[in-house]
Amino acid sequence: MCSRVLVYGGKGALGSKCVELLKKNNVWVASIDLVANDAADSNVLITNLTSWTDQQDEVVTKVESALNGNNVDAILCVAGGWAGGNAKSKNLVKNADLMWKQSVWSSTIAAHLATKFLNSGGILTFPGAFAGTEGTPGMIGYGMAKAAVHQLCKSVASPSSGIPENTTVVSVLPITLDTPMNRKGMPDADFSSWTSLDFVAELLLKWAKGSDRPENGSLLKLVTEKGNTKVVPV
């Protein structure tokens, strides 16, 4: 049973798909993002983009107001982004800073939200990437940020992390998601090896409902071949 969900990054490509699917399944959804998602029941709009601590305070206060005394059964953090650059790039630090803000800030705040608003036995998901399990010389900031998210997942899944009892904490590690932005940037790629947003959204919905949840602390690689996707523990 799943009645209320927070989608962190609810206006992005994957976040929008998650909100859409959750609503089709009669789930109350709050979207946390820079821009409102009109399909959500409530929107938590982030305006503080310069201070991590201030952004946490803003999000916690606005989520508390949106929930109005209720808790949620799942927090699905699907916020993120991509930027390239090797060590010679003049934008190395700039892009790494952007990746940290888009992936690590959001995931860490989502973890804190779980300590306050997630029901016991709920689920918290993080947006990892398979690239973050190995070297990423052409996109150093991206790889660093995703590796940090994987470590966060392991930490929050461990005893004494502060989250509610019996919470399942997992990170999903796609290779390439089939998003409009990725298709635009890589028009000649083999799209049959990209993971569809529908697959990921349906997977997260299933787990939110308590069905076939993976082991707590799992990092789960999404391997897509000829349009078929398998979930493989890393």
- Confidence check: pLDDT of 207 > 80: yes
Q: How many CB atoms lie within 10 A of CB 138?
A: 12
State the fold for domain 4-233.
Rossmann fold (3.40.50)
**Residue-level pLDDT at 46:** 98
% of the chain surpassing 90 pLDDT: 88
The domain ranges of the chain are 4-233
Catalytic residues: 142
The residues with which 173 forms a beta bridge, in sequence order, are: 221
- Whole-number Å distance between alpha carbons of 160 and 18: 30
- Confidence check: pLDDT of 189 > 90: no
**Residue-level pLDDT at 188:** 76
Q: Could you give the C-alpha distances from 138 to 43, 88, 199, in angstroms and in order? A: 35, 10, 28
Strand order in the sheet with 4-8: 42-45, 28-33, 4-8, 72-77, 118-127, 168-174, 219-225, 228-233
For the whole model, what pTM was predicted? Answer: 0.96
Task: Average the pLDDT over 12-38 and give the result.
Answer: 97
- Whole-number Å distance between alpha carbons of 216 and 232: 14
Per-residue pLDDT reduced to its tens digit, 48-94? 999 999 999 999 999 999 999 999 999 999 999 889 999 999 999 99
**Residue-level pLDDT at 178:** 72
**Residue-level pLDDT at 176:** 82
pLDDT band at residue 1 under the 50/70/90 scheme: confident
**Residue-level pLDDT at 8:** 98
Q: Could you give the C-alpha distances from 187 to 54, 131, 180, 226, in angstroms and in order? A: 39, 20, 10, 17
Pairing of strands 72-77, 177-178: unpaired
